[in-house]
Amino acid sequence: MTLPKSLWLVGAGNMGGAMLRGWIAAGLSPDAVTVVDPGSPAVPPGVRVLAAPEGPAPEVIVLAVKPQLLDAVAPSLEQVHPALLLSILAGVEEAALAQRIPADSIVRAMPNLPVAIGKGVTALHAAASTEEARATAEALVAPLGQVEWIGDEAMFDAVTALSGCGPGFVFRFVDALAAAGTALGLPADQAARLALATVEGSAAMAAGAGESPAVLADRVASPGGSTREGLNVLDRDGALQSLLKATLAASRERNAELAAAARG
């Protein structure tokens, strides 16, 4: 798989900027990239920045604006017609994109923030696209971390809630873990370091283990020990699972609302 020779990145905010840095680090030439963003974002050296699209159509357009801005930016792209439109807009379905921005192929992508350090996960979906377009989309996201193709677009809202929004939930958990340590009397800065290092090490261990995280949790928790007592609190009446189910359901429902708005 090869990276495209010309690419427009429409929107270079947190996620778009993170993806751009990952592409450049993976070998995409800065000369091949044009960022279209009226906000004058910071970009790697050699990347051209324009306030509005201009020039010949690129091989790939990556649409990375907020979903609510789709109708504001689409008119400037309706005459461009790239070989591939790669959209990371949460909740905006392929049909809604096709109505606004003509392209030979459309691929939806849902990356998460750790793509900025090559440890992300990106879900991809394409109902009707060429094999070449699918290969180009995968080549763009593969350097950013794990890639997962989703066969049913109806599942994209669930994927967005789990892996797309998931880093925010994990960050909140780390913060809450540190705050709980502070409540036990630890200095706040030390509790923050301990919480972060604990989550980092545990995630790395789970990723490399042959057993499920549930098995690992039980292995840590010896009968009658302190870990078991803490797990009993999380497990009581399914408290933790109920909380996370409600959390993901709220995110999924918001994605569904965005999709409905994009359909018009």
Greatest Cα pair distance in the chain: 69
Which residues pair with residue 260 across a beta bridge? none
Question: Could you tell me the sign of the dihedral formed by the alpha carbons of 61, 64, 69, 70, in that order?
Answer: positive
Instruction: Quote the pLDDT of residue 42.
Output: 85
Taken in order of first residue, the domains within the chain and their CATH numbers are 7-152 (3.40.50.720), 166-255 (1.10.3730.10)
What are 183-233's pLDDT values in tens digits? 999 999 999 999 999 999 999 999 999 999 999 999 889 888 999 999 999
Instruction: Quote the pLDDT of residue 78.
Output: 86
Is pTM beyond 0.75 here? yes
Which residues pair with residue 25 across a beta bridge? none
Mean pLDDT of 34-62: 89
Q: What's the rounded Cα separation, in Å, for the pair 36 and 16?
A: 11
What are 139-153's pLDDT values in tens digits? 999 999 999 999 898
What are 77-100's pLDDT values in tens digits? 988 899 999 999 988 889 999 999
Closest CA to 86 of 44, 43, 144: 144
Banded model confidence at residue 1, pLDDT cuts 50, 70, 90: low
Instruction: Quote the pLDDT of residue 40.
Output: 77
Closest CA to 16 of 102, 103, 89, 70: 89
| HSE, side-chain direction, 13 A CA sphere, residue 56 | 6
Mean pLDDT of 26-51: 89
Mean pLDDT of 234-256: 94
Instruction: Write out the DSSP string of 175-198.
Output: HHHHHHHHHTT--HHHHHHHHHHH
Here the tokens at position 126 are 């394409």
Q: What's the rounded Cα separation, in Å, for the pair 68 and 259?
A: 10
- Please say if the pLDDT value at position 173 is more than 90: yes
Closest CA to 31 of 15, 41, 19, 45: 45
DSSP 225: S
Here the tokens at position 144 are 């950013």
Residue 44 phi, psi (nearest 5):
-60, 150
SS3 for 54?
coil
Mean pLDDT of 130-135: 89
